[in-house]
Amino acid sequence: MTDIIIVNWNSGNYLEKCITSIFSNSNERFVNMVFIIDNSSSDLSVKNILPNDKIQIIRNNENKGFAKASNQGFLLSKSPYVLLLNPDTQLLDTTLKDCIAFMERHPETDILGCRLLNDEGETSSSCARFPTPLKLFMDSVGFSKVFPKVFTPAILMSDWDHKTSRYVDQVMGAFMFMRYSIFEKVGYFDERFFVYCEELDFSKRLHNLGGKSFFNTDIVAIHSGEGTTKAVKAFRLFLNLRSRLQYARKHFTTSGYWLVWFGTYFIEPFTRTFFLLLSGRFKEIKTVFIGYTLFIRKANNQNSKSKGI
């Protein structure tokens, strides 16, 4: 049996579609409980969910972030398997059955990811590699966009077509099918990550202990992508940048951290703007400016607090 954890924040009708797919005739028999952790949504996404004995909704009075909300669900789970699922995701009829069958056949696998299709039916990049300081710096410079065959992306494996199954460093948190026993070895998500990089950090800690993550292209689900953050792109950029530096500070040497810090602060704002100009996406330049302004302002406030100013 499987417990499903869904962290919700203003997901609109995505959540209802997700729940409907979970409780299809073919999936429901593999579901023990669905825990919806709502991060103080202001829309009707949770209110539209019909009562069900297998659904428990936890309403937070503030947005606690993805990592902390996920942990709330993990702590409630009692099943041998836990599926962390985004609200803008939909299961197909055999998704849960196939996941359980694979994990039963492969006890060496701790985390399982599946092929995620976007709304157009195209395969999305959903696996990541553990970054290095140099790789992140090269991303900031833009080399992975100009010379993708030479400089592969630091994290997201967008250079790979995801048409084969293989062990990977990390599978996307939109769909992470896990053995509950791994929490006893690794602990839970690091709640210092508000959103982004928490599953990367979790997978890295698991990897350091000998754990394995597997991507199975034969198991499929639908993931619309950016369903809950599409309307707040500048804020999303700020969170992404902040989480990247948090990950670098935690996992890299001091010199490695400062290399990432330099690229993030002094190079990437200009390369992002350059590529937007080059592609004619002029309206998105404002998003970069707002996101970086928020990022720098928050960083300055944090430094002031640490110095007692």
Average pLDDT in the 14-30 region?
96
Burial letters for 115-147: b for 16+ Cβ neighbours within 10 Å, e otherwise? bbbeeeeeebebbbbbbbbebbbbbbebbbeee
User: Is the pLDDT at 306 greater than 50, yes or no?
Assistant: no
Give the model confidence (pLDDT) of 261-301 as tens digits.
999 999 999 999 999 999 999 999 999 999 999 999 887 66
Contacts of 303 (CB under 8 A, 6+ apart): none
pLDDT bucket at 231, cuts 50 / 70 / 90 = low
Whether the predicted pLDDT of 145 surpasses 60: yes
pLDDT for position 304: 40
For the cut 60, the answer to whether the pLDDT of residue 68 exceeds it is: yes
**Confidence at residue 206, expressed as pLDDT on a 0 to 100 scale:** 97
How far does the chain reach from its first CA to its final CA, in angstroms? 52
pLDDT number for residue 149: 80
Q: How far apart are CA 306 and CA 117, in angstroms?
A: 44
Going from N- to C-terminal start, the domains of the chain cover: 2-126+162-223, 233-306
Decide if pLDDT at 176 tops 90: yes
Say what the pLDDT of residue 230 is.
Answer: 53
Q: What is the mean pLDDT of residues 11-39?
A: 96
Lowest mean pLDDT across 37-41, 94-98, 208-212, 224-228: 224-228
Residue 227, pLDDT above cutoff 60: no
Question: What does the pLDDT average to over 228-233?
Answer: 64
Name the β-bridge partners of 216. 114
Residue 308 pLDDT > 70: no
204 pLDDT exceeds 90?
Answer: yes
Whether the pLDDT of residue 224 is over 80: the answer is yes
Confidence bin at 12 (pLDDT 50/70/90): very high
Is residue 200's pLDDT more than 80? yes
Q: Whole-angstrom Cα distance, residue 8 to residue 72?
A: 12
With a CB cutoff of 8 Å and minimum separation 6, the contacts of 50 are none
pLDDT of residue 225: 79
Nearest to 36, CA basis, from 78, 6, 68, 66 = 6
DSSP string computed for the chain: -EEEEEEESS-TTHHHHHHHHHTSTTTGGGEEEEEEEE---SSSTTTTSPP-TTEEEEE-SS---HHHHHHHHHHH--SSEEEEE-TTEEE-TTHHHHHHHHHHH-TT--EEEEEEE-TTSPBPP-EE----HHHHHHHHHTHHHHSTTTS--SSB-TTS---S-EEESEE-TTEEEEETTHHHHH-S--TT-SSSSHHHHHHHHHHHTT--EEEEEEEEEEE-SSTTTTT-HHHHHHHHHHHHHHHHHHHS-HHHHHHHHHIIIIIHHHHHHHHHHHTT-THHHHHHHHHHHHHHHHHHHHHHHHTT-
* pLDDT higher than threshold 90 for residue 181: yes
Q: Which of 34-38, 150-154, 167-171 has the lowest mean pLDDT?
A: 150-154
CATH class of 2-126+162-223: alpha beta
DSSP states of 93-138 as a string? Answer: TTHHHHHHHHHHH-TT--EEEEEEE-TTSPBPP-EE----HHHHHH
pLDDT-above-90 percentage for the chain = 90
The average pLDDT across 100-109 equals: 98
